[in-house]
């Protein structure tokens, strides 16, 4: 159990049999009445966000999330095959479990699956991935890094805004948390 006074961003809690991660929280002490904690929570199974208000000091169950190292092997239609790095056991996950992570997945990529009570609730990608540009407008002599941006389609289908000097075939480092271009590799 954890007190709502100890909330912090990234904390995982269990409410009504589901797992939530705290996205935002705010301690509020009105002039009249008792203090409370206003929070935005994201359901880790469905991805839906909800706002919830707790009394200050109210106890909630902390959700213990287990991380397990896996390697993404390949996809077979809507199923994505992963291999446990220790036991070499393979599991398959549906595209609904992976959500937006699909935009960053490459074969042989190492990642963590998130388990809650032996049930896979999602995956955790590395903070950045290297992806190849497969389609973008050509760069022209004189284009500079500070001169603006253009869209580029990457090998996984992700479209990112990149500087004008980026060309097809370039390998880019992309931040998986924001989906933003970081640098050319």
pLDDT value at position 77? Answer: 86
Query: Which of 62, 88, 106 is a domain's end point?
Result: 62
Looking up tokens 């929070």 gives: 39
Query: Which of 124, 139, 167 is a domain's end point?
Result: 124
What b/e sequence results for 36-49 when a residue is b if at least 16 CB atoms lie within 10 Å of its CB, and e otherwise?
Answer: bbebbbbebeeeee
Instruction: List pLDDT tens digits, range 94-136.
Output: 887 887 888 899 899 999 998 888 888 888 889 999 999 999 8
Structural domain of residue 95, as residue ranges?
Answer: 66-124
Q: Which residue has the higher pLDDT, 145 or 37?
A: 37
Please classify residue 136 by burial: count the beta carbons closer than 10 Å to its beta carbon, then call 0-12 exposed, 13-18 middle and 19+ buried: buried
**51 — pLDDT class (breaks 50, 70, 90):** very high
Structure tokens at 122: 């999602």
Answer whether residue 73 shows pLDDT above 90: yes
**153 — pLDDT class (breaks 50, 70, 90):** very high
Mean pLDDT of 57-73: 92
Q: Are residues 70 and 120 in the same domain?
A: yes
CB 125 within 8 A of CB 179: no
| Helix, strand, coil percentages, rounded to 5, for the chain | 5, 55, 40
Structure tokens at 139: 């760069």
Q: Are residues 85 and 46 in the same domain?
A: no
Mean pLDDT value across the chain: 88
Mean pLDDT of 73-78: 89
Percent of the chain topping pLDDT 70? 95
Query: Which of 107, 124, 141 is a domain's end point?
Result: 124
Among the listed residues 7, 117, 1, the one whose alpha carbon sits nearest the alpha carbon of residue 66: 117
Q: Are residues 30 and 72 in the same domain?
A: no
Q: What are phi and psi of 102, to 5 degrees?
A: -60, -30
Q: Are residues 79 and 97 in the same domain?
A: yes
Say which CATH number the domain at 158 has: 2.40.50.140
Say which CATH number the domain at 15 has: 2.30.30.30
Q: Are residues 109 and 136 in the same domain?
A: no
Which range among 34-38, 75-79, 93-97, 158-162 shows the weakest confidence by mean pLDDT?
93-97
pTM score = 0.74
Give the chain's end-to-end CA distance (angstroms, integer). 45
Count of domains for the chain: 3
Mean pLDDT of 78-87: 91
Q: Are residues 175 and 141 in the same domain?
A: yes
Q: Are residues 160 and 113 in the same domain?
A: no
CB 80 within 8 A of CB 95: yes
pLDDT value at position 123? Answer: 86
């Amino acid at each position: 159990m954890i007190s709502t006074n100890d909330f912090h961003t990234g904390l995982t809690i269990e409410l009504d049999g589901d797992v939530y991660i705290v996205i935002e929280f705010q301690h509020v002490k009105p002039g009249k009445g008792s203090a409370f904690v206003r929070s935005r929570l994201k359901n880790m199974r469905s991805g839906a966000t909800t706002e919830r208000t707790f009394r200050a000091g109210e106890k909630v169950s902390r959700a213990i999330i287990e991380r397990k190292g896996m390697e993404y092997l390949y996809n077979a239609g809507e199923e994505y095959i992963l291999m446990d790095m220790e036991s070499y056991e393979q599991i398959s996950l549906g595209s609904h479990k992976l959500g937006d992570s699909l935009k960053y997945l490459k074969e042989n990529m190492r990642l963590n699956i998130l388990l809650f009570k032996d049930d896979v609730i999602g995956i955790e990608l590395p903070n950045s991935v290297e992806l190849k540009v497969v389609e973008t407008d050509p760069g022209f002599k004189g284009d500079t890094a500070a001169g603006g941006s253009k869209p580029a389609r990457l090998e996984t289908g992700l479209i990112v805004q990149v500087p004008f000097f980026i060309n097809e075939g370039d390998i880019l480092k992309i931040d998986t948390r924001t989906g933003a271009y970081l640098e050319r590799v």
